[in-house]
Amino acid sequence: MSQQQSTLYVELGDRRYPIHIGENLLTSRGLLAGLIKSRQVVVITNETIAPLYLDIVLGQLPDSILVTPVIIPDGEQYKTWQTLGEIFDQVLVARHNRSTTFVALGGGVVGDITGFAAACYQRGVNFIQIPTTLLAQVDSSVGGKTAVNHSLGKNMIGAFYQPTAVVIDTGTLSTLGAREYAAGLAEVVKYGLIYDAEFHAWICANRSQLVARDGDTLRYAIQRSCEIKAEVVAADERESGLRAILNLGHTFGHAIETYMGYGSWLHGEAVAAGMVMAVRLSALRGSVDAELVVELEQLLVDLGLPVWAPTEMRSETFIDLMALDKKAIDGQMRFVLLGALGAALVVDDVTEAELVALID
Amino acid sequence: MSQQQSTLYVELGDRRYPIHIGENLLTSRGLLAGLIKSRQVVVITNETIAPLYLDIVLGQLPDSILVTPVIIPDGEQYKTWQTLGEIFDQVLVARHNRSTTFVALGGGVVGDITGFAAACYQRGVNFIQIPTTLLAQVDSSVGGKTAVNHSLGKNMIGAFYQPTAVVIDTGTLSTLGAREYAAGLAEVVKYGLIYDAEFHAWICANRSQLVARDGDTLRYAIQRSCEIKAEVVAADERESGLRAILNLGHTFGHAIETYMGYGSWLHGEAVAAGMVMAVRLSALRGSVDAELVVELEQLLVDLGLPVWAPTEMRSETFIDLMALDKKAIDGQMRFVLLGALGAALVVDDVTEAELVALID
């Protein structure tokens, strides 16, 4: 491998797996073929990604194996029970057995639904993540959270199921739309806030290079984000403790997504506005300086992200929607706040009065 | 506990769980309430079982917790993707969070679909098995295999997901229909054949007491069956080796079920006919005496079970249907045969010619 490629590992014992990061990995000789051990492969992608990268991926696979491409519609609104059922129909018609490998080629929606399909197909088959959006590369492709949405809540049906490998080709970001790209940067910002003040400072200093999609800047941002995520997931795979800090801004963000209907706001956009709310709540509680809220808003605006929830969403709307959120335990809402810049903590003692003060 | 109750364990490390066996355990003071740690419970049962046992189970739970009963139609033909979706709808409408507990109250269909629902709901919640059929008590409630069927194959979508406890009230067998009861005995017979020649001899000697549902005979039959299953599952949870022996008769049996349409033959009936085929194939290969086939047929007939596949199913029908079976690896069909009475083995070198000789 050249110097522009790197590999890090998610340390999960006998389910340890590599994350390969680099430009043009999709055409890197033998990489994909070497990762697939089976004689059958299902490649799941969407209508937007298929014309761009499907043939490239198929071209890397030996002719001798059975390959079934499954193309789903593009968008969070298709991350559903019904789409999942249609995937199973196609895979069963093509007669894949339980030694097959599922490959997710696309963004977070493709990765989440493919991972869940792999977890359930014949009670579990191997799968490989090839994330093609920044959000998927720095967040959803790593860590084994898979799911589909339900009209009553996001990611309500799913599984913890780890891939056997993640292949991040940073070259795929060149075709990513501006909104989707910015949405991915929201998660990059999150890692600095919750875990690494130095990384946060680096992001602030390099915001214009990030917006310009400078290759080296981007590679470092992705690598550091994946390192942090891998470390947190290795420490707490099933989110019984530490892993919850990855949800900074997500409790508010999920409420925004549910309220607006999936697909209206991008996940990363909702998380951006949600992070501002969480950091502002942290400041109201005195654990971080109010100046950090202002700085964060400016950073997110510079990166092309929203910093306010829709104005028609009042505190009672948030409270109602958040009560159903998976992070609510026995009716008690939990929030990820900042104890300090670079150090998140989970609290369950936020009062409704505080939420009213924050939102209304 | 009285002498008529016993507890054994499935040894799976930190997921170790108890199987409680005894008469009237459902009304045993504090047993169920003690097993449920959450403040929310979903009890999934079917239209046949609900009038018999639902109120009894609900009566054991503290008034202070949220209890949502979900009643599904009775029958293998409802063990589907669609029923599963309807379960999630009801559980989400009632706002269960991820600390809820799912309870399966019913036979194998209820247990399989509830276990899979528990595996997927909010990426996994606790669940407890209360099997009310003999088949579920000696087989499907123990070992963590959960699934729904697909029109192209049985148990194609599912998960390995262990319960936190199994509660077997042998009293529930008094209300079981004769066909369902006999179907459960097929699996009891299986355990002797694959694992324990002495148990097989005991079954043969006690066939009339088994048919008469004699309490002591039944309790021992269930306990020994669960012990064998627990031992095999502890050694090989995900069926990478030994666990496959539990499928004696199932490769042929699944083909019969698929061919006839789910719900026409009971699972245990198909397994009975399938076991005769597997043991006859073992005899054709010389690993067991041909006399065992005759003895087994007589035993199964005495227990009220079929010993022949439908006559219209020819070898090519079996071969075609079995090729899709999950036990087929990369197109090679695998069969569980007997190396000797009480010692099963898995083979993958059965030829089509042998199947033609066996079936046609």
| CB–CB contact B159 A123 (8 Å) | yes
A121 and A269 belong to one structural domain: no
Spatial distance between the Cα atoms of A312 and A310, rounded to a whole number of angstroms: 6
Q: State the residue range of the domain holding B186.
A: 178-359
Task: State the catalytic residue, choosing from A247, A280, A297, A327.
Answer: A247
Residues B184, B218: contact at Cβ < 8 Å? no
| CB–CB contact B120 A238 (8 Å) | no
The gap from C-alpha B40 to its chain's centroid, in whole angstroms, comes to: 27
| CB–CB contact B124 A238 (8 Å) | yes
A64 and A9 belong to one structural domain: yes
B166 and B184 belong to one structural domain: no
Cα→Cα distances A22→A34, A50, A169, A216, B248, Å: 17, 21, 5, 10, 49
Q: Would you state the pLDDT for residue A49?
A: 97
Nearest CA in chain A to B239: A123
Which amino acids of B are annotated catalytic?
123, 145, 187, 229, 239, 243, 247, 250, 254, 267
Q: Would you state the pLDDT for residue A327?
A: 55
Q: Is A327 a catalytic residue?
A: no
Q: Would you state the pLDDT for residue B328?
A: 53
| CB–CB contact A40 B95 (8 Å) | no
Q: Is A334 a catalytic residue?
A: no
Which of A157, A320, A322, A334 would best serve as a mutation to test chain B binding (most B beta carbons within 10 A)? A157
Spatial distance between the Cα atoms of B71 and B55, rounded to a whole number of angstroms: 13
CB < 8 Å to B152, chain A: 89, 92-93
Residues A101, A41: contact at Cβ < 8 Å? yes
B166 and B189 belong to one structural domain: no
> CB-based burial of residue B132 (10 Å sphere; 0-12 exposed, 13-18 middle, 19+ buried)?
buried
Q: Would you state the pLDDT for residue A325?
A: 64
Q: Which residue from B92, B155, B159 is facing A156, i.e. has the nearest CB? A: B92
A281 CB-near residues (< 8 Å, 6+ apart): A335, A337, A350, A354, A358
A92 and A171 belong to one structural domain: yes
CB < 8 Å to A121, chain B: 156-157
B202 and B306 belong to one structural domain: yes
Torsions phi, psi for B346 (to 5 deg): -105, 130
Count of domains forming chain A: 2
CB < 8 Å to B329, chain A: 97-99
Q: Is A145 a catalytic residue?
A: yes
B75 and B216 belong to one structural domain: no
Which of A130, A152, A175 is the endpoint of a domain?
A175
Q: Which residue from B92, B95, B157 is facing A150, i.e. has the nearest CB? A: B92
Closest-CA residue to A309 (of A266, A267, A351, A277): A277
Q: Would you state the pLDDT for residue A29?
A: 84
Residues A330, A323: contact at Cβ < 8 Å? no
Torsions phi, psi for B193 (to 5 deg): -60, -45
Q: Is A190 a catalytic residue?
A: no
Q: Is A20 a catalytic residue?
A: no
Question: What would the mean pLDDT of A151-177 be, rounded to a whole number?
Answer: 93
Stretch among A125-134, A165-174, A327-336 having the lowest mean pLDDT = A327-336
A13 and A140 belong to one structural domain: yes
Q: Is A150 a catalytic residue?
A: no
Which of A155, A175, A195 is the endpoint of a domain?
A175
B119 touching A, CB under 8 A?
Answer: yes
Q: Render pLDDT for B287-334 as a digit per residue (tens, 0 to 9).
A: 999 999 999 999 999 999 999 999 999 999 998 888 766 555 456 678
Which of A65, A86, A123 would best serve as a mutation to test chain B binding (most B beta carbons within 10 A)? A123
A86 touching B, CB under 8 A?
Answer: no
Torsions phi, psi for B49 (to 5 deg): -80, -35
Cα→Cα distances B125→A159, B18, B103, B116, Å: 10, 18, 11, 10
Nearest CA in chain B to A239: B123
| CB–CB contact A97 B330 (8 Å) | yes
Q: Residue A166 — pLDDT band, cuts 50, 70, 90?
A: very high
Nearest CA in chain B to A80: B85
Spell out, as residue ranges, where chain B has pLDDT lower than 70.
1-3, 262-263, 324-332
CB < 8 Å to B98, chain A: 326, 329
CB < 8 Å to A324, chain B: 92, 95, 97
A156 and A291 belong to one structural domain: no
- Chain B (64-83) residues lying within 8 Å, Cβ to Cβ, of chain A: 81
A287 and A198 belong to one structural domain: yes
Spatial distance between the Cα atoms of A326 and A246, rounded to a whole number of angstroms: 14
Strands (E), chain A: 5-10, 17-22, 40-46, 66-72, 101-106, 126-131, 145-150, 153-160, 165-169, 335-340, 343-347
Q: Would you state the pLDDT for residue B61?
A: 94
B182 and B295 belong to one structural domain: yes
Spatial distance between the Cα atoms of B109 and B76, rounded to a whole number of angstroms: 6
A179 CB-near residues (< 8 Å, 6+ apart): A266, A269, A304
Q: Render pLDDT for A49-97 as a digit per residue (tens, 0 to 9).
A: 999 999 999 999 999 999 999 999 998 889 999 999 999 999 999 999 9
Q: Would you state the pLDDT for residue A76?
A: 85
Torsions phi, psi for A164 (to 5 deg): -95, -15
B95 touching A, CB under 8 A?
Answer: yes
Residues A44, A34: contact at Cβ < 8 Å? no
* Burial letters A186-210, b for 16+ CB under 10 A, else e: bbbbbbbbbbbeebbebbeebbeeb
Q: Residue A171 — pLDDT band, cuts 50, 70, 90?
A: very high
Q: Render pLDDT for A342-357 as a digit per residue (tens, 0 to 9).
A: 999 999 899 989 999 9
The domain that holds B44 is classified in CATH as 3.40.50.1970
Spatial distance between the Cα atoms of B265 and B306, rounded to a whole number of angstroms: 10
Question: What would the mean pLDDT of A119-143 be, rounded to a whole number?
Answer: 96
Distance from CA of B52 to the nearest CA of A (A): 30
Q: Which residue from A122, A150, A158 is facing B326, i.e. has the nearest CB? A: A122
Q: Residue A2 — pLDDT band, cuts 50, 70, 90?
A: very low
pTM score, two decimals? Answer: 0.90
Q: Residue A1 — pLDDT band, cuts 50, 70, 90?
A: very low
Task: State the catalytic residue, choosing from A79, A207, A219, A243.
Answer: A243
CA dihedral defined by A280, A285, A286, A287, rounded to 10 degrees? -80
A31 CB-near residues (< 8 Å, 6+ apart): A20, A25, A60, A167
| CB–CB contact A88 B157 (8 Å) | yes
Residues A43, A58: contact at Cβ < 8 Å? yes
DSSP string, B86-102: HHHHHHHHTT--TT-EE
B51 and B130 belong to one structural domain: yes
The domain that holds B250 is classified in CATH as 1.20.1090.10
Percentage of chain A exceeding pLDDT 90 = 83
| CB–CB contact B323 A157 (8 Å) | no
Which of B140, B175, B210 is the endpoint of a domain?
B175
- Find the radius of gyration of the CA atoms of chain B: 20
Q: Render pLDDT for A269-321 as a digit per residue (tens, 0 to 9).
A: 999 999 999 999 999 999 999 999 999 999 999 999 999 999 999 999 998 88
If DSSP codes are grouped into helix, strand and coil, which group holds residue B294? helix
CB < 8 Å to B238, chain A: 123-124
- Chain A (316-335) residues lying within 8 Å, Cβ to Cβ, of chain B: 323-324, 326, 328-331
User: What type of residue sits at position B83?
Assistant: T
